[in-house]
Amino acid sequence: MVKKITLSLLFAGVATLSFGQEVRKYSNEFLSIGVGARALGMSNAFVSTVDDATSGYWNPAGLVHVQSDRQISLMHAEYFAGIAKYDYAGFAMPLDTTSSIGFSFIRFGVDDIPNTTDLIDANGNINYDRITSFSAADYAFLVSYAKKTSIPGLSLGANAKVVHRMVGSFAKAWGFGLDAGMQYRKGKWRFGAMARDVTSTFNAWSYTLDQRTIDVFNQTGNEIPVNSIEVTLPKLILGAARSFTINDKFSVLAETNAIFTFDRKRNVAIRSNFSSIEPLAGFEVGYGGFAFFRGGIGNIQRVTDYDGNPGVSIQPNMGVGVRIKGFTLDYALTDVGDQSVALYSNIFSLKFDINRRN
Considering 77-81, 267-271, 290-294, the range whose residues carry the highest mean pLDDT is 290-294
Question: What does residue 98 show for φ and ψ, rounded to 5 degrees?
Answer: -120, -5
pLDDT for residue 94: 96
What is the percent of the chain with per-residue pLDDT over 90, rounded to a whole number? 54
Per-residue pLDDT band for 346 (boundaries 50, 70, 90) equals confident
Average pLDDT over residues 204-222: 77
pLDDT for residue 344: 66
Q: Is the pLDDT of residue 336 over 90?
A: no
Average pLDDT over residues 130-154: 93
Question: What does residue 36 show for φ and ψ, rounded to 5 degrees?
Answer: 85, 125
Average pLDDT over residues 114-131: 79
- Ranges assigned E (strand) in 168-267: 171-186, 189-196, 201-207, 228-232, 235-245, 250-261
pLDDT for residue 25: 53
Average pLDDT over residues 33-54: 95
Q: Which domain holds residue 179?
A: 2-356
Q: Is the pLDDT of residue 22 over 70?
A: no
133: left (phi over 0), alpha (psi -120 to 50) or beta: beta
Q: Answer for the pair 160, 185: CB distance below 8 angstroms, yes or no.
A: no
pLDDT for residue 8: 35
| pLDDT tens figures, 54-75 | 999 999 999 999 999 999 999 9
| Beta-sheet pairing, 21-23 with 228-232 | parallel
Q: Is the pLDDT of residue 219 over 70?
A: yes
List the one residue out of 180, 186, 179, 178 whose CA is nearest residue 154: 186
pLDDT for residue 337: 46
**Residue 286 corresponds to which amino acid?**
G
351 class by beta-carbon count within 10 Å (0-12 exposed, 13-18 middle, 19+ buried): buried
Q: Is the pLDDT of residue 10 over 90?
A: no
Q: Is the pLDDT of residue 17 over 50?
A: no
Q: Is the pLDDT of residue 7 over 60?
A: no
Q: Is the pLDDT of residue 208 over 70?
A: yes
Whichever domain contains 197, its CATH number is 2.40.160.40
Q: Is the pLDDT of residue 42 over 80?
A: yes
pTM of the complete model:
0.83
Residue 105's DSSP bridge partners are: 89, 141
Average pLDDT over residues 284-289: 95
Give the mean pLDDT of the chain: 85
Average pLDDT over residues 136-142: 95
Q: How far is CA 281 from the centre of its chain?
A: 17
pLDDT for residue 127: 80
Per residue, the 3-state secondary structure of 240-267, as one string, reads EEEEEECCCCEEEEEEEEEEEECCCCCC
Q: Is the pLDDT of residue 3 over 60?
A: no
18 class by beta-carbon count within 10 Å (0-12 exposed, 13-18 middle, 19+ buried): exposed
Number of domains in the chain: 1
pLDDT for residue 244: 96
